[in-house]
Amino acid sequence: MKITHYRWVVAFVILSGCSDPPLLSTPLPNGYEFKSNGGLFGYISTPDGRRIAKYFGIISDETEVWCEEFAWKDEMVICKRTEYAVSSSEPKNTNYFLLNTANSEVSIVGHDRASAIWFQMFGTEMPKLATRHTETHTR
């Protein structure tokens, strides 16, 4: 009896076609990593594998913050950081998270300031941000 029940459960799961999005990981300079759930709910983890909880995830009872689009050059990482009310899927604020992986210095700034910092550092416009890069793999 139990085996028959198990077969029905397995068959239902296979036939339903439902699956979770893949868990993705992208290595960043100096041991940092960008992790996401299929490109959604992204965050940056430290070299010891911990999410930088001060800046990503559920920040308070009312706010959660995720990064879905990101890029890097040399030791600098940038991501578009979107803030949501916990009970809503509509963004309530967007800013940019800049991380210098050489010294762990973080800045959270608006678009214009992020562009100015990037230009000052590299003499170029901000890179195109994306949810996946060639280095991205499933974990």
Tell me: the pLDDT tens digits for 46-69? 999 999 999 999 988 889 999 989
pTM: 0.81
Task: List the chain domain ranges.
Answer: 20-138
Residues in the chain: 139
Amino acid making up residue 95: N
CA-to-CA dists, residue 60 to 27, 74, 80, 132, angstroms: 28, 33, 19, 28
Local confidence band at 19 (pLDDT 50, 70, 90 cut-offs): low
